[in-house]
Structure 1
Amino acid sequence: MIRYPQLTGHQIGVTAPSSGIPTELHHLLHQAEHKFSDRGFTLQFTPNAWKQQFGKSSPARVRVNELTNLLQDDTVDLIIPPWGGELLMEILDQIEWQSLPAKWMLGYSDTSLLLFVYTLKTGIASAHGPNLVDLRADMWDETSSRWLDVLSTRVDETVIQRSSEKFQKEWQFDNPTPHLFHLTETTEWKAIGGQHATGRLLGGCLDVLLHTIGTPYGDVKTFQHEYLKDEPILWYFENAEMNVPALKRTLLQMKWAGWFDHTSGILFGRSDAPSVHQDYTVEMMYEELHHMLGIPIFYDIDCGHVPPQMTFVNGAHASVQVEHGQGTLIQTFKG
C-alpha cells in the first residue's frame, strides 16, 4: 500500500539535497521567505540552503544529515528544496531509507530523483511540482498554486487539476510580473493513441532518473509488486536537456529494463530541450514510442522546466483525459 503524508501545519523545511543558493542570489530565498510569511507559512532553512560550491550545496554527508534532520523533526510539516541541481545522486547510497518517516517533499528537476527513490524504497507518496524559488511571486498562478490543494488532500479523497491556459516561452528578467512567470503562449496538451489513461503515477526528470536503471534505486518491478499490488503505472516525465536521440535511447533502456512492462500510458512535460535532430523530431519519437509500447502517449503537459506546472503525486491513483488540447488530471489518494 501507498502511504500518504498528512499536511497539518504551516512549517516548511528548506534544505538543499542538490544545489543551494549562491551568495549573489540569496535575495531569492529572502523573497520566498517574505512571500510565504504573507501566506501564513514559516520557512525553516538549513545552512546548506544558502551555500553552493563545487556543483553542490555541501558534501554528501552534510546534505543527508540536514535532510534527515528535517524529515525527523515533528515540527516541520513539509520540505521544499530551493531548486534542483546536478549532483543529488551522490546522496542516494548514504540515506537510511527504511528509517525515514512519512513527510511531504515537493520539487522537480534534480529534486525529482530524491522523490522517485523515496517513493520506490518506502512506498511513501511524494510530490513533483514547483521548487521554492518558483513560489516566490507576489501572486501564484492558477496552475502552480494547486500544490497546496494537492498536498492537503486526505487519504481516499480526490483532487482535480486542469491544464493551464498559458505557458512561458522564455524568461524576461527585465520585465517582472506579479506571477513571476511570463505566461504568453497558449497551452495545448497533445495525445497519441488515445485520449484517456488510468494508473498509478510515477516519474520525474528523465535526465537523472535514467541513472537509477539497473541499480537498487530504480527497482520499479519490486515497487510495483509490493506497494502497487501490480496495478499499472501511469508514467510522467520531464526532459531538461536531452536531444531527441538521447531521449529515445533513454526510453529504450527503460523498456529493456522492464520499467514499461505494465504501463497504462506516458505523459511528457513541455521541454525547451532540442526538439529536432537531423530532421528527427520529438513528435516522431513519441509516435514510435506509442507503436512500440501500444499505450497512449501524452505530451506538452504542464510538467517540468517550462512553467507553469501541475503537482503530480508519486504513488497516487490517477486518471488523465485530453480533449481539444485541454487536459484534466484526477488524483485519488488510494492506499
Structure 2
Amino acid sequence: MIRYPNALVQGQTIGLTAPSSGVNPQLHHLVHESQKQFENRGYNIIIGETVWTQHKAASATKVKRANELNAMLQNSEIHAIIPPWGGEILQEILPLIEWEKAQPKWILGYSDTSTLLFALTMKTGIATAHGTNLVDLRSDEWDPTTSKFLDVLSAEGGATIHQTSSVNYQSEWSHDRQPKPYVFNLDTETKWETVYNRPVEMKGRLLGGCMDTIRHLIGTPFGDVKTFQETYLMNEPIVWFLENCEMSATDFHRTLLQMQQAGWFEYASGIVFGRTEAGQEVGGFSTFDALERLAETTNLPIIYNADIGHVPPQMTFVNGAYATIKVSGGKGEMTMTLKK
C-alpha cells in the first residue's frame, strides 16, 4: 500500500536541501528569488547549508548531504522538501539515508533528484513527486503546466488531479533570462507522439525518473522493482515514465535493454518518455529505432516527447500514484489518483 504525505498548506514550512548538487555563488540569486516566490504565496522556507556550496560535482561530502537530508526527513515541522536542482552523484548518499525514520512528506524534483525519489518510494512505499525544480519557480507567475505541482502537493490522499500536455515547450535553456512572465521561454509547439502513430491509453501505478541516474540502481537494494511491486502495489500494473538527459541513441538503447532484462518492465502496462535534446544518432541508429525495438519486444504502448524532464515545462508525475494516460492527435492527458 502506497503512503501519501499530508497535503501541503499555506503557513507550513518547506525545506531546501541539496542531496546532489548545490548552487555556485554566482547563482545564489536563483535560490533567493525562488524563496521569495514561495514566501509570497504563504509558505515558510528553511534553507540547509548544502544549498549554498558546490565542490567536486556535489554540494558537500556524502555524510553532510545525508545528515542534512535525514534531519529534514525526520523533522515534523518540515512538510515538504525541494532541492534546488539535480546533479550527478546523489547515489552515493543512498546507503546513509535512515529510510525507516523517514516521515511521509512531499519531495519534489527531477534529474538526479529522481534518484532519491525513486529509491525512497522503492524502500518505503512513500509517494514522491517527479516534477519541476526549485530554481524554475522563481518567477511571479508559474506557467499552467508547471504550476500543477502545487495542486499535487496540496492534495489530500485519495484526491484526483487532472493534467494536460503543454501548448508549447522551451527549446533552449538560459538561467540569465529574466523570468517574465515565466521562467521558461515557451517557444515551440508541443506534440506528444506514439510509436506506430496511433492513439494510446495506458493505466497503472506510476514509476520512473531520469534514466541516466536511476539505471544505476538496477541490481541494488534501491532498485528492487519486483519486491516493490509485490509489497506495495499488490501486483498492479506499472506505467513507467522515463527521460533521457545525456545518453546517445545507442546508450539509450542499452539502458532500455538492461531495464527490460532486469525485469523492470515485467508488470508494465505502458511507457512514457519525455522530450530530450540528447539521443544523438550513432551510425544511423536513432532513439526512435530504440523505441520501435522496445515496442516490438515488449508489446507495450509507448508514448514519447511528453512533458517530462530536462526540456520544460513539466507535468508532475507521482511515484506510486494510479494514473490513466491518453494520447491522441498530438495531445496528452493524465488523470492521476493518490490511491493507496
Do both proteins adopt the same fold according to a TM-score greater than 0.5, normalized to the shorter chain? yes
Are positions 1:151 and 2:174 aligned together? no
Q: State the 1:192 CA deviation.
A: 2.2
Find runs of 4+ consecutive structure 1 residues off by over 4 angstroms. 172-175
Are positions 1:186 and 2:194 aligned together? no
The residue that corresponds to 1:92 in the other structure is: 94
Query: Are 2:76 and 2:103, in contact at CA under 8 Å, matched by a contact in 1?
Result: no
Query: Are 2:74 and 2:101, in contact at CA under 8 Å, matched by a contact in 1?
Result: no
Tell me the distance in 1 between the aligned counterparts of 2:91 and 2:176. 34
Query: Are 1:192 and 1:287, in contact at CA under 8 Å, matched by a contact in 2?
Result: yes
- Given the alignment, which residue of 264, 288, 308 partners 1:259? 264
Query: Are 2:34 and 2:138, in contact at CA under 8 Å, matched by a contact in 1?
Result: yes
Q: Deviations over 1:195-225 (max 9, x none)?
A: 1000100000000011111111110000000
Tell me the distance in 2 between the aligned counterparts of 1:167 and 1:68. 35
Tell me the distance in 2 between the aligned counterparts of 1:64 and 1:197. 37
The residue that corresponds to 1:125 in the other structure is: 127
Are positions 1:317 and 2:319 aligned together? no
The residue that corresponds to 2:253 in the other structure is: 248
Query: Are 2:252 and 2:279, in contact at CA under 8 Å, matched by a contact in 1?
Result: no
Q: State the 1:38 CA deviation.
A: 1.5
The residue that corresponds to 2:163 in the other structure is: 161
Query: Are 2:19 and 2:90, in contact at CA under 8 Å, matched by a contact in 1?
Result: yes
Query: Are 2:21 and 2:57, in contact at CA under 8 Å, matched by a contact in 1?
Result: yes
- Given the alignment, which residue of 276, 280, 286 partners 1:281? 286
Tell me the distance in 2 between the aligned counterparts of 1:39 and 1:13. 15
Q: Which amino acid in structure 1 is aligned with residue 136 of structure 2?
A: D
Tell me the distance in 2 between the aligned counterparts of 1:127 and 1:71. 15
Q: State the 1:332 CA deviation.
A: 0.6
Equivalence map 1:55-94=2 (5 Å): 55-94=57-96
Question: Matched residue of 1:197: which SS?
Answer: strand
The residue that corresponds to 1:27 in the other structure is: 29
Tell me the distance in 2 between the aligned counterparts of 1:174 and 1:109. 20
Query: Are 1:172 and 1:182, in contact at CA under 8 Å, matched by a contact in 2?
Result: no
Query: Are 2:279 and 2:286, in contact at CA under 8 Å, matched by a contact in 1?
Result: no
The residue that corresponds to 1:2 in the other structure is: 2
Question: Matched residue of 1:330: which SS?
Answer: strand
The residue that corresponds to 2:308 in the other structure is: 303
Query: Are 1:204 and 1:238, in contact at CA under 8 Å, matched by a contact in 2?
Result: yes
Cα distance 1:319–1:239, how it changes in 2: closer, same or farther (>3 A)? same
Tell me the distance in 1 between the aligned counterparts of 2:173 and 2:103. 37
Q: Which amino acid in structure 2 is aligned with residue 121 of structure 1?
A: K
Q: Deviations over 1:22-65 (max 9, x none)?
A: 11111111111112222112211011111111111111111111
Q: Which amino acid in structure 2 is aligned with residue 14 of structure 1?
A: L
Query: Are 2:82 and 2:109, in contact at CA under 8 Å, matched by a contact in 1?
Result: yes
Equivalence map 1:98-109=2 (5 Å): 98-109=100-111
The residue that corresponds to 1:326 in the other structure is: 331
Question: Matched residue of 2:271: which SS?
Answer: strand
Tell me the distance in 2 between the aligned counterparts of 1:332 and 1:77. 21
Where does structure 1 lack aligned partners over 5 or more consecutive residues?
Answer: none
Q: Which amino acid in structure 2 is aligned with residue 191 of structure 1?
A: T
Cα distance 1:24–1:172, how it changes in 2: closer, same or farther (>3 A)? closer
Tell me the distance in 2 between the aligned counterparts of 1:158 and 1:150. 9
Q: State the 1:174 CA deviation.
A: 5.8
Query: Are 1:242 and 1:273, in contact at CA under 8 Å, matched by a contact in 2?
Result: yes
- Given the alignment, which residue of 116, 134, 137 partners 1:135? 137
Tell me the distance in 1 between the aligned counterparts of 2:97 and 2:175. 37
Q: Which amino acid in structure 1 is aligned with residue 268 of structure 2?
A: T
Tell me the distance in 1 between the aligned counterparts of 2:221 and 2:177. 46
Cα distance 1:172–1:210, how it changes in 2: closer, same or farther (>3 A)? closer
Q: Deviations over 1:94-119 (max 9, x none)?
A: 11212211111000000000000000
Question: Matched residue of 2:332: which SS?
Answer: strand
Tell me the distance in 1 between the aligned counterparts of 2:334 and 2:176. 34
Question: Matched residue of 2:78: which SS?
Answer: coil
Tell me the distance in 2 between the aligned counterparts of 1:8 and 1:55. 31
Query: Are 2:152 and 2:161, in contact at CA under 8 Å, matched by a contact in 1?
Result: yes
Provide the aligned length of Structure 1 versus Structure 2: 335
Query: Are 2:177 and 2:183, in contact at CA under 8 Å, matched by a contact in 1?
Result: no
Question: Matched residue of 2:326: which SS?
Answer: strand
The residue that corresponds to 1:198 in the other structure is: 203
Q: State the 1:275 CA deviation.
A: 3.8
